[in-house]
């Protein structure tokens, strides 16, 4: 059995314990679906390792947890992935102690590997505009292709014009958008809601999609705002593939995804003089420290411009 998210080889008590923990982080801590899925996968990795070592989650001690992390490093997992697994382990064992499944937390002294704080990729304003405007109507005699182009333009406008996460875009419903007031209701991480402004271009793009594109593809009029060619709700994978497709033709050789447009949204706001607290609210960050990294991006871009443009740089 490979170390994957499949728990069928684990003893039933271990599966039951993991299911209970998964329900806790989903229903009580209100973590995002992606985080819940990641935590579950991390616990299955750990439980599988312990099972192969003739141990289990309840009997694990500090030494065997360290051996698990050493194995993860030997298998080539990135520091960020290992750090997330340590976080999942800490969260699990705190919960297990609180629920009386174990007496002591074996993860208390487990440290997380340091993760390099890389600056996010940011597009220049002109490149971002070109990317957002790339979808065209295509063949006027092919209504489905025209609908897809209208959908893609609306999604790109929301990613860059409102700084939405890909999961926030796929979770939108028609009632979430107030086209008259140019506002949108966004459900972010931890089920937190926020209202953010929508640009004039995004309003026009969404209106065109709702009027001329969505009726040709949607099955449930009250369902998700965006759907794919198979008339199913647009998934995060669908959006990433769409963005990668357009970006690959426009900016070949660069790794650009939906989050690149969110990064660009934040950086361009700060470069334009927006208050960092306002940007924090627009992005839905719980801490301003997360937003502050975009000030570093702006500073890095200034140094880059100086180096490239000044004759004595």
Catalytic residues: 165, 189, 259, 262, 285, 294
83 vs 61: CA distance, rounded Å: 18
Q: How far apart, in Å, are the Cα atoms of 305 and each of 104, 117, 137, 245, 253? A: 55, 22, 36, 29, 21
- Sequence-distant (≥ 6) Cβ neighbours of residue 232 within 8 angstroms: 219
Residue bearing tokens 């937003």: 291
CA distances 42 to 72, 150, 166, 308, Å, are 11, 39, 23, 44
In 3D space, the residue among 269, 266, 268 whose CA is nearest the CA of residue 164 turns out to be: 266
- CA 121 to chain centroid, in Å, comes to 15
DSSP state of 27: I
How many whole angstroms from its chain centre is CA 280?
Answer: 16
Bridge partners, residue 178, by sequence: 183
HSE of 97, CA atoms in CB hemisphere, 13 A:
12
200: CB partners within 8 A, 6+ apart: 182
DSSP per-residue letters across 269-289: HHHTT--HHHHHHHHT-SSHH
The encoded tokens of residue 217 equal: 């593809």
Residue keyed to tokens 């629920």: 99
């Amino acid at each position: 059995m490979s170390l994957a998210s499949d728990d069928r080889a684990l003893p039933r008590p271990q599966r039951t314990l993991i299911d209970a923990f998964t329900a806790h982080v989903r229903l009580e801590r209100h973590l995002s679906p992606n985080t819940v899925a990641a935590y579950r996968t991390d616990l299955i990795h750990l439980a599988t390792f312990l099972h192969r070592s003739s141990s289990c989650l309840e009997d694990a001690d500090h030494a065997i947890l360290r051996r698990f992390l050493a194995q993860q490093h030997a298998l080539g997992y990135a520091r960020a992935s290992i750090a997330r697994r340590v976080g999942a382990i800490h969260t699990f064992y705190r919960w297990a102690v609180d629920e009386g499944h174990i007496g002591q937390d074996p993860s208390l002294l487990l440290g997380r590997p340091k993760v390099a704080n890389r600056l996010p990729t940011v597009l220049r304003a002109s490149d971002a505009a070109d990317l957002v405007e790339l979808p065209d109507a295509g063949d006027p005699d092919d209504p489905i292709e025209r609908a897809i182009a209208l959908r893609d333009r609306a999604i790109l406008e929301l990613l860059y014009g409102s700084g939405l996460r890909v999961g926030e875009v796929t979770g939108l419903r028609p009632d979430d958008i107030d086209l008259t007031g140019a506002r949108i209701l966004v459900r972010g991480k931890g089920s937190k809601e926020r209202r953010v402004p929508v640009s004039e271009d995004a309003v026009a793009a969404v209106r065109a999609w709702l009027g001329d594109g969505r009726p040709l593809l949607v099955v449930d009029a009250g369902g998700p705002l965006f759907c794919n060619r198979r008339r199913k709700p647009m998934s995060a994978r669908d959006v990433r593939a769409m963005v990668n497709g357009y970006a690959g033709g426009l900016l070949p050789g660069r790794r650009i995804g939906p989050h690149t447009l969110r990064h660009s949204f934040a950086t361009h706001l700060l470069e334009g003089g927006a208050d960092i607290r306002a940007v924090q609210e627009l992005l839905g960050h719980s801490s301003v420290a997360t937003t502050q990294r975009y000030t570093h991006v702006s500073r890095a871009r200034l140094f880059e411009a100086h180096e490239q443009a000044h004759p004595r740089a």
